[in-house]
Amino acid sequence: MAIDAWETRYGASTIKNSIAPLVRVLDEAVRDGLIPINPAKNRAKRSLNRNAFRAGQSVAQTSPRAHAIPDMKTLRRLAAACGKIDQSYSDFVMLAALLAARSSEVSGLQAGDVDFGKNLVVISRQVYPGRGGLITKPTKSRKERRVPILDPLRPVLERLAKGKAPDDALLTGPKGGILTTATVRDATDWDKIVAKLGLPDLTRHGLRHTGATWMADAGVPLHVLQEILGHASMETTRGYLHPDDRHLASAAEQASAFLSPAGQRHRAQSSTSPTRSV
């Protein structure tokens, strides 16, 4: 079977994780001088966001928004389906989506990172599997991020943080260990669950895209969204904006009001009004 035909039979998550080991092995071959380049790297990138590499697709179809869950109802359905295996998998889904966090960042959360007084969660570390066990490192940007607590996530955080010391893991799996994206994938049979929901290309990283997309649609200013997501480049954050011209129409209305005769008169009156002495 041709590899392109194979890709059509499996979800994005299975494809990505099947190709990833091959990429690592061939990286070693490049470093050892056995081959000049790693031929699997482009394939791995294509597989991760395979829709983005199909010819003839619009900007809307290739943006991060295309890999997000459409609404809260669908997110709850996904969380409930994962929760049938264990509640921790449901919590993982809700945390990743509503904090717009990477899987490794959800794994690294501690109870003390949740500040109910300030209504925010501090994301300062990531935990992921490495050689010899779990690795704890700073976030990808190496900067601490503060994410506001959205109302649907508050009861989840309250339940997870209750009775825990500040440095206790906020979320643990059925056997008390740290949850990783791979354990969630394998334990829940992720590809089958998302396919049943009509989201066959949804990966765990798509949960982060979901939260970012919803915040952008809610009108969170771009520079604030950039801070929440920890993007180094504003252009990366801009990919979550709705790909229509609504913001341009709003800008036109504001500019037209500014330039209208009434707006001109108002500014003239304001500039000539006497200043009160204090």
The tens digit of pLDDT for each residue in 109-167 reads 999 999 999 999 999 999 998 888 899 999 988 899 999 999 999 999 999 999 999 99
pLDDT bucket at 46, cuts 50 / 70 / 90: very low
CA 76 to chain CA centroid, Å, is: 16
**Between these two residues, 262 and 207, which has the higher pLDDT value?**
207
pLDDT bucket at 253, cuts 50 / 70 / 90: confident
User: If DSSP codes are grouped into helix, strand and coil, which group holds residue 115?
Assistant: strand
pTM of the model: 0.71
Q: Which pLDDT does position 53 carry in this prediction?
A: 38
Let me know the angle formed at the C-alpha of 215 by 241 and 45, rounded to the nearest 5 degrees.
60
The single residue listed with the structure tokens 């709003």 is 250
Q: Which pLDDT does position 260 carry in this prediction?
A: 85
Q: Which pLDDT does position 62 carry in this prediction?
A: 60
CB 181 within 8 A of CB 14: no
Q: Which pLDDT does position 211 carry in this prediction?
A: 96
- Cross-strand bridge partners of residue 129: 134
pLDDT bucket at 47, cuts 50 / 70 / 90: very low
pLDDT bucket at 12, cuts 50 / 70 / 90: low
- What percentage of the chain reaches a pLDDT higher than 90? 56
The helix/strand count (H/E) of the chain reads as: 15, 5
Is pLDDT above 90 for 63?
no
Output phi, psi for 129, to 5 deg. Answer: -70, 140
Q: Which pLDDT does position 257 carry in this prediction?
A: 83
Q: Which pLDDT does position 58 carry in this prediction?
A: 53
Q: Which pLDDT does position 277 carry in this prediction?
A: 45
Q: Which two tokens stand for residue 30?
A: 């490049």
Kind and range of the H or E element at 16?
Answer: helix 12-31
